[in-house]
C-alpha cells in the first residue's frame, strides 16, 4: 500500500497495489494491522455505499457527539472528495483538503473523526463506499453549507453550474455557526 499524508497530515491518501493481467485485476483494499500502523487504533462498525449522478454534491456532514472516521473509496466513476478540519485546537482548524477518488486511480482517503466530509460527482455517475468508525446517528448529524465563503472550497463544478444538493444540505450551517470539536 502506498500512502501520502496530505497538507493536513491526519488525512491519509492510500493507493493499494493492483495486480492485473488480461483477466482483470486483484487488490487488497483493507488490512486492519496495516491501517492501524498508518492511521491509529480505529475499528469500523458500519459500511455505506451510495450512487450519485454527475453534478451531485453530498455534504459537508459530520456527527458531533458520535464522530465518525471514514475510509472512503470510489468503485465506479469519479468524485472530488473533501475533508474539513473541525478540531478547534488543531493547527489546521478550518482548512480543507480535496482529492479526486476514482475507479481508475483506486485511491482511498482516510478522514479521521473531527472532520466534516463531502463529495462532488465529476463523472456521469459514481458509486462511493466508505467504512465508518461509529454508527450513523441522524439526530447527531451536522451539515455545513457546501459553498461557505469562509471555507472557500474550490469545488470543480461542471460548467460553473450549482450542484444538485438535498434539501437538508441546502440548509447547511455557515462554518462560523457550526459546532466544532475541542
Q: Of the candidates 81, 74, 128, 131, which has an alpha carbon nearest to the alpha carbon of residue 104?
A: 74
Is 97 strand, coil or helix? strand
Which CATH number goes with the domain that contains 72? 2.60.120.10
Listed residue (123, 177, 101) closest to 145, CA to CA: 177
The answer to whether position 130 is within a domain reads yes
pLDDT, position 62: 98
* Domain annotation covers residue 118: yes
Is residue 159 part of the annotated active site? The answer reads: no
Of these residues, 61, 62, 120, 145, which one is catalytic? 61
Digit-coded pLDDT (tens) for 89-140: 999 999 999 999 999 999 999 999 999 999 999 999 999 999 999 999 999 9
Establish whether 49 is a catalytic residue.
no
Dihedral sign (CA 32, 6, 156, 28):
negative
Does 22 fall in a domain? no
CB atoms within 10 A of CB 6: 16
Q: Is residue 30 part of a domain?
A: no
Q: How many separate domains does the chain show?
A: 1
Query: With bands split at pLDDT 50, 70 and 90, how would you rate the model's confidence at 159?
Result: very high
- 37 class by beta-carbon count within 10 Å (0-12 exposed, 13-18 middle, 19+ buried): exposed
Expressed as residue numbers, the domain containing 130 is 44-177
Query: What sign does the CA torsion over 65, 63, 50, 104 have?
Result: negative
Residue 124, domain member (yes or no): yes
In a domain, 25, yes or no: no
- Is residue 18 assigned to a domain? no
In which band, very low, low, confident or very high, does the pLDDT at 1 lie, cut at 50, 70 and 90? confident
Cα distances from 150 to residues 63, 67, 119, 125, 142, in angstroms, run 21, 23, 18, 29, 17
Active-site residue (options: 42, 62, 120, 130): 130
Q: Minimal CA–CA distance to 95: which of 114, 108, 67? A: 114
1 part of a folded domain: no
Q: What is the pLDDT of residues 8-24, one digit of tens each?
A: 999 999 998 989 999 99
pLDDT value of position 145: 98
Amino acid at each position: 500500500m502506498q500512502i501520502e499524508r496530505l497538507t493536513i497530515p491526519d488525512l491519509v491518501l492510500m493507493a493499494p497495489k493492483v495486480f492485473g493481467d488480461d483477466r482483470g485485476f486483484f487488490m487488497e483494499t483493507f488490512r486492519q494491522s496495516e491501517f492501524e500502523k498508518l492511521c491509529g487504533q480505529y475499528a469500523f462498525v458500519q459500511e455505506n455505499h451510495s450512487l450519485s449522478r454527475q453534478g451531485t454534491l453530498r455534504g459537508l456532514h459530520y456527527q458531533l457527539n458520535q464522530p465518525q472516521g471514514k475510509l472512503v473509496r470510489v468503485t465506479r466513476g469519479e468524485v472530488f472528495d473533501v475533508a474539513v478540519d473541525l478540531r478547534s485546537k488543531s493547527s489546521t482548524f478550518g482548512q480543507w483538503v480535496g482529492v479526486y477518488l476514482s475507479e481508475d486511480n483506486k485511491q482511498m482517503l482516510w478522514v479521521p473523526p473531527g472532520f466534516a466530509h463531502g463529495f462532488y460527482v465529476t463523472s456521469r455517475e459514481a458509486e462511493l463506499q466508505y467504512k465508518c468508525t461509529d454508527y450513523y446517528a441522524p439526530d447527531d448529524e451536522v451539515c455545513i453549507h457546501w459553498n461557505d465563503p469562509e471555507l472557500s472550497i474550490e469545488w470543480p463544478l461542471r460548467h460553473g453550474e450549482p450542484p444538485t444538493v438535498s434539501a437538508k444540505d441546502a440548509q447547511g450551517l455557515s462554518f462560523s455557526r457550526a459546532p466544532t470539536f475541542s
